[in-house]
Amino acid sequence: MADIAVVTGGSGGIGAAIAKMIHAKSDGQLTVCIHYNGNEAAAKAVAAEIPGSFIVKADLSTGEGRKALLDAVLAKGTPFCLINNAGIDKPHEPALMVDEASFDKIINTNLRAPLFLMRDFAKEMARNEAGVIVNISSVLARKAVIGSALYRASKAALEALTMQFAAELGPKGLRVVAVAPGFIETAMTAGIPEDQRAGIKKDVALGAFGSPDAVAETVWHAVENQYLNGAVIAVDGGMHL
Ligand SMILES: NC(=O)c1ccc[n+]([C@@H]2O[C@H](COP(=O)([O-])OP(=O)(O)OC[C@H]3O[C@@H](n4cnc5c(N)ncnc54)[C@H](OP(=O)(O)O)[C@@H]3O)[C@@H](O)[C@H]2O)c1
């Protein structure tokens, strides 16, 4: 049975880059599971570029969806990597406008999903005392951008959970790391109007948005570096400074 690297949100911009990077850097040693929610065409397009990969559809904001993903992976082999990348940033609501339905939507997708996926995949990884989990956070965990209260809360909590799980799982031979991108060119940021983009770039020391590959390279570093545990690695052109 194969060692599997699961990339949630593999149909999205950053997830697709991570899936391809893991395949390339592992010389195909890791079988890549490309998870998607609604965009089957995108997931299939990514899979077509990765020999031996497979796709799994699941709404990870639900317990049924998370179980479907775990079951599909266990049917193919042993999970070795879990990249908790699936996420949403909308709706954008100013602090005084946040509502409870938005809270449920963002927290269920960005926090509940990676938390319980970590718990359940780590139980499987612990049987072999080998595995690594990478959680995709955001520079906005540490930065106030108008309209990002719920998103910020979800990512800040995900970073806290990264450290907690790293502390508790390290003795079982597992590592947990967070990667915190800045603004990256994907569907998530494609709709930002030009004047706002210019304002954001002024906040980035390197003066530009980043590429999905820049994030994927950092994720691979986290997978490979055996002494990295509980860290939050910024890949944001200096936006957090
Ligand atoms: N782009 C940025 O500037 C940026 C910056 C910092 C952090 N991030 C983080 O990086 C990650 C990837 O973002 P991206 O830019 O690649 O976004 P993206 O292109 O919009 O992709 C988002 C992915 O999440 C999946 N997804 C959304 N809701 C889901 C749900 N309920 N259950 C399962 N999967 C779900 C989508 O699946 P389908 O498309 O198949 O529905 C898609 O694969 C996110 O966690 C995001 O918060 C992004």
Delimit the domains of the chain by residue range: 2-235
Averaged pLDDT for residues 28-49: 98
Ligand 1: nearest atom to the Cα of 14:
16
CATH annotation of 2-235:
3.40.50.720
Averaged pLDDT for residues 160-175: 98
Cα 86 to ligand 1 centroid, rounded to whole Å? 4
Q: How confident is the model at residue 2 (pLDDT cuts 50, 70, 90)?
A: confident
54, 151, 183, 220: the catalytic one is: 151
Active site residue 36: no
Q: Where does ligand 1 bind, in terms of residues with CB under 6 Å?
A: 9, 11-15, 36-39, 59-61, 85-89, 109, 136, 138, 181, 183-184, 186-189
Q: Tokens 């959680």, residue?
A: 135
Ligand 1: nearest atom to the Cα of 16:
16
Q: What is the pTM of this model?
A: 0.98
